[in-house]
Amino acid sequence: MQKHHNPERRVLVTGGAGFIGSHTVDLLLEQGTSVLAVDNLATGHEANLETAKKSTDFRFECQDVAQADAFHQIVERFHPQAIIHLAALVSVQESIHNPALNFERNVLATQSVIDAAQKCDVRNVVFASSAAIYGDNPELPLRETSEKQPLSPYGGAKLASEALLMAAANTYHFTATANRYFNVYGPRQDPKSPYSGVLSIFLSRFLQGQTPTVFGDGQQTRDFISVQDVARMNVMAACSPLDGFHAFNVCTGSATSLLDILAVFREQFPDTHETVFKEARPGDIIHSLGAPEFAREKLGFSASVPLREGLTAYIESARTTTV
C-alpha cells in the first residue's frame, strides 16, 4: 500500500499489543498515520509490535483502559481523531468463571473510552464487537438485524458496549462503529488463549507434529476472516463518513467446514497422523455464517483474502517466526 505520510492524523488503538490490534497498528502506520497503542499486556505481547516500534510515528503506553482517569489523561495528551477500541477480556470461558472481571474489561473499559472520547472531542470511535452477540441463532446467514441472544457474559458485555456506544453517539454527536467480527485468523494469534480460534490451535498442533482433535464430525462450519481484512475494516471505520452509530458484520459470507480446513493443513503437513474425532462438546455451535452486505453497502468494505491463500500465508509465517 502506498504511504502518504500524514502525522497530523492520529489514531489511538486500545489492545494494540494484541492479535488484531497489532495488525491494525501496522496498517495505520503503513498509511502514514501517527499511532498510540494502549495495552495492559494482559493477553497481548510487546513482541507483536516489533515492526511498529521501528516507526517514529508509533508510541506505546502500558495502561489499563478501564482506569478511567489515567486513560483520559493519555487521550488528552495524544488528542487523536479516532479511537479503535479492541482491548478486552477475550476468553468466553473466563467471562463465565469471572463475570466481574468481564464487566470491568468489557463494559467499564468501553465506558472509559466513551468518557475520554467525549471529553477530548474525539469524533470517531470504533469498537471490536463479536458474532458472539448472536449466540446460536439458527437463522443463517446472520444479519445485523438478526435477533441477539448472547450465551455468555462475554457476548452480553459486547452487546451492552454496543448499546452504550449507540447512546453516546446519539447524545454527544460522534460517530461510533461496532465491528462484529466472525472467526478471525492469522499471524500472531495466540494458540494458548482459550478463546483462540480453532485455526491457531490446529496450526500449533501441526507445527508440533501432533494430531489435531476435532470435536464432532468436522462438518461444523464457520465464517473465517483473515486478520488483514479485519484490520482494513477497522481502519475504514476509523475514517467512516457516517454519522451516529452503526454496527457491521465483519465476515466473508462463506461457510467453511473444519474438514475443508483440515484438508488444507494436510497438504502443508503431509506426514502428520490421522485426525482424532471426539464426541461433540455440549453447547458447541454447529454452524455460523455472517451476511457481509451491509458493510459493503455502507462503507464499501468486503473481505478480499481468500481462505486458502490466507491460511497458507498464516502457516508460512508461523514456520518462519518465533512470535
Ligand X SMILES: NC(=O)c1ccc[n+]([C@@H]2O[C@H](COP(=O)([O-])OP(=O)(O)OC[C@H]3O[C@@H](n4cnc5c(N)ncnc54)[C@H](O)[C@@H]3O)[C@@H](O)[C@H]2O)c1
What residues from 180 to 209 belong to the interface with ligand X (CB under 6 A)? 181, 183-184, 197
What is the amino acid identity at position 239? C
Q: For 240-256, give one letter per residue: b (16+ CB within 10 A) or e.
A: beeeebbbbbbbbbbbb
- In angstroms, what is the minimal distance from the CB of 123 to ligand X? 21
Binding of residue 44 to ligand X (CB under 6 A) = yes
Binding of residue 19 to ligand X (CB under 6 A) = yes
Q: How far apart are CA 168 and CA 172, in angstroms?
A: 6
Binding of residue 87 to ligand X (CB under 6 A) = yes
Q: Which of 26, 39, 162, 229 binds ligand X (CB under 6 A)?
A: 39
Q: How far apart are CA 74 and CA 115, in angstroms?
A: 12
Q: How far apart are CA 26 and CA 50, in angstroms?
A: 10
Q: Please spell the DSSP secondary structure of 228-273, one letter per residue.
A: HHHHHHHHHHHT----SEEEEEES-S--EEHHHHHHHHHHH-TTSP
Across the chain, the runs of DSSP E, i.e. the strands, are: 6-14, 33-39, 58-62, 82-85, 124-130, 175-181, 183-185, 213-215, 221-222, 224-226, 245-250, 256-257, 276-278
Q: How far apart are CA 56 and CA 62, in angstroms?
A: 18
Q: Which one, 87 or 305, has the nearer CB to ligand X?
A: 87
- In angstroms, what is the minimal distance from the CB of 142 to ligand X? 13
Q: Which one, 34 or 152, has the nearer CB to ligand X?
A: 152
Cβ neighbors of 110 (< 8 A, separation 6 or more) are 85, 127, 160, 161, 164, 165
Q: Are 245 and 251 in contact (CB under 8 A)?
A: no
Binding mask 208-247 for ligand X (x = CB under 6 A): ----------------------------------------
Binding of residue 116 to ligand X (CB under 6 A) = no
Q: Which one, 24 or 272, has the nearer CB to ligand X?
A: 24
Q: Which of 13, 86, 125, 307 binds ligand X (CB under 6 A)?
A: 86
Q: Which of 105, 205, 222, 232 binds ligand X (CB under 6 A)?
A: 105
Q: In 3-state terms, what secondary structure has residue 69?
A: helix
Binding of residue 40 to ligand X (CB under 6 A) = yes
Stretch that binds ligand X, among 18-26, 205-213, 260-268, 308-316 (CB under 6 A): 18-26
Catalytic residue of the set 134, 154, 195, 314: 154
Q: Which of 25, 88, 142, 311 binds ligand X (CB under 6 A)?
A: 88
- Other CB atoms within 10 A of residue 265 CB: 19
Binding of residue 66 to ligand X (CB under 6 A) = yes
Q: Is 195 a catalytic residue?
A: no
- Enter the C-alpha cell of residue 315: 502457516
Q: Which one, 71 or 272, has the nearer CB to ligand X?
A: 71
Stretch that binds ligand X, among 41-49, 159-167, 168-176, 282-290 (CB under 6 A): 41-49
- In angstroms, what is the minimal distance from the CB of 134 to ligand X? 11
Q: Is 238 exposed, middle or buried (0-12, 13-18, 19+ CB in 10 A)?
A: buried
Q: Which one, 187 or 212, has the nearer CB to ligand X?
A: 187
Cβ neighbors of 49 (< 8 A, separation 6 or more) are 16, 17, 22, 25, 37, 58, 60
- In angstroms, what is the minimal distance from the CB of 233 to ligand X? 12
Stretch that binds ligand X, among 1-9, 38-46, 277-285, 302-310 (CB under 6 A): 38-46
- Which active-site residues does the annotation give? 154
Site residues, ligand X (CB under 6 A): 14-15, 17-21, 38-44, 64-66, 86-88, 90, 105, 109, 128, 130, 181, 183-184, 197
